[in-house]
Structure formats: C-alpha cells, structure tokens
Homo-oligomer: A and B are copies of this chain.
Amino acid sequence: MTTTALKARKEFGKTLASDIAHRLRNEIVTCQLKPNESLKFDALRLSFGASFTTLREALTLLVAEGLVVAEEQRGYKVAPVTLEDLHDLTHARILIEVDLMRRSIEKGDDDWEIRVISSLHRLVRIEERAPEDYASNTEWKAAHRQFHEALVSASGSPTLLAVRNSLFDRAERYRNLSAIFRPHPRDKAGEHRALMQAAIGRNADQACALIASHIQTTSNNVARYASGVISAG
C-alpha cells in the first residue's frame, strides 16, 4: 500500500458514523484536536478512512453536542474555548446536576447505592495506584465519569440526563486543557467521598450543595490555569 489511508473499521458503535463520532469526540475532548482547528474533509478522510457523507453525519452529531461548530458552506471546526463559554457551561451544569442529584437521592434504590459506592471505590483504588497526576490518566477519567454518572443515575430523567452527558464532555475538554498547565492536581478525593456519603445518607440538601461547589470549584481552577490558552471571553 502506498498511502497511509486507513480502512475504517468499527471499534465501538454499531454504525460506522456513530463509531467515528465516538472517536472524534474523544480526540476533541482530550484536545488532540485543538480548539478552533478546522476539520477538513480530506484530512478526516485520511485519518478515519470514511467517506464524505459518513464523516458529515458524525460531525452533525458533534455539532448537536456543542463540541464542533458548523459554518455553513465553509466547513466544520472544533468548537472554540472561551471564558464566556466556560461560565455558561458551568452555570448550566450546576443547574441540571443539582436537580438530577436531588431526585436521584429521592428515588435511588439499593442498586443505585451499590453503583455509587462501587464506582467511588474503583476511583479511589486508581488514585492509590497512581497518586501522581492521576487527572491525566485515562483510566481515572473513565472512573471519575462513572462515579458522577452513578450519583445521578436514579433520577429517572432521560431528557436531562442526555443533556448532562453532553455538558460533561464539554466540561471535560476544559479540564483537560487546564491539566496541561496545572502544577499539581487538586485533591478531589475528599470531595468525592463526602459526596458519596451525603448521597447514600439521603442528605439531599448537603449533596446538592457539595456537587454545586464541586463543579464551581473545578471550573474556577480551570479558568485560573487555562487562561493562557483560552481566548478572551
């Protein structure tokens, strides 16, 4: 073979388009594809080995999630990062996550408690295993995501959960961005444990206050450490 063109093969989703969306989402969230980077079809075609229309479908999906922006007739690019966007995102996340948390605590059954406890356990184990900069560890990120997902998983609100997931991705991109510059990872272990205890203890007010403050603090840290790479809001 003379070219490096890949033949596309599914790793995740059931259709190729959703599979590519998944991979693209990952590259954007981890900032392998940088904010504002223009997503030319020829280039994407080369790295993903799919045709124009399949790529287009994947990009459409990511536009809906706010990770890609489309300028009609002028192509797609990775969504910009700005302080304004970070603030907007943070506000939306707190509003929705607090609501989901409260209702999850109201409705959560035994299985929910188990999901919360076990996902926290896994997170702690990973932190013990790699105490240094676990925040840039892929395994930690997955566990972190799963813990937060478990907390709200009993809310019984598909609509808000879907929005929440997409906002979580957008926020994770900002966290990854700031991780490049942050001297040391903040110790979130205590916060996570307190969150779990408030949730399992059915102390809704406290859990909501904790999650709001958790999101806000993280956002503030991102704003501080990532200000170098973030365009002026």
Which of B57, B72, B92, B167 is close to A60, meaning CB atoms less than 8 Å apart?
B57
Which of B15, B61, B89, B167 is close to A64, meaning CB atoms less than 8 Å apart?
B61
Q: Are B72 and A18 in contact (CB under 8 A)?
A: yes
Assembly CA distance A157 to B96 (angstroms): 14
Q: Are B15 and A72 in contact (CB under 8 A)?
A: yes
Q: Are A95 and B96 in contact (CB under 8 A)?
A: yes
Assembly CA distance A142 to B99 (angstroms): 31
Interface size (A, Cβ < 8 Å)? 31
- Binary contact readout A150-172 vs B (1 if CB under 8 angstroms, 0 otherwise): 00000011111011000100000
A164 to chain B, nearest CB (A): 11
Question: Most chain-B Cβ atoms within 10 A of its Cβ — which of A13, A95, A158, A159?
Answer: A159
Q: Are B72 and A14 in contact (CB under 8 A)?
A: yes
Query: What is the interface of chain A mostly: helix, strand, loop, or mixed?
Result: helix
A42 to chain B, nearest CB (A): 18
Per the 8 Å Cβ criterion, residues 51-73 of A in contact with B are 53, 56-57, 60-61, 64-66, 72-73
CB-defined A-B contacts under 8 Å, sample of 9: A15-B72, A18-B72, A53-B56, A53-B57, A56-B57, A60-B60, A88-B156, A89-B159, A163-B163
Top-10 shortest CB links A-B: A64-B64, A53-B53, A14-B72, A92-B159, A60-B60, A92-B160, A88-B159, A95-B99, A15-B72, A57-B60
Residues of A near any B CB (own CB < 8 A): 13-15, 17-18, 53, 56-57, 60-61, 64-66, 72-73, 85, 88-89, 91-92, 95-96, 99, 156-160, 162-163, 167
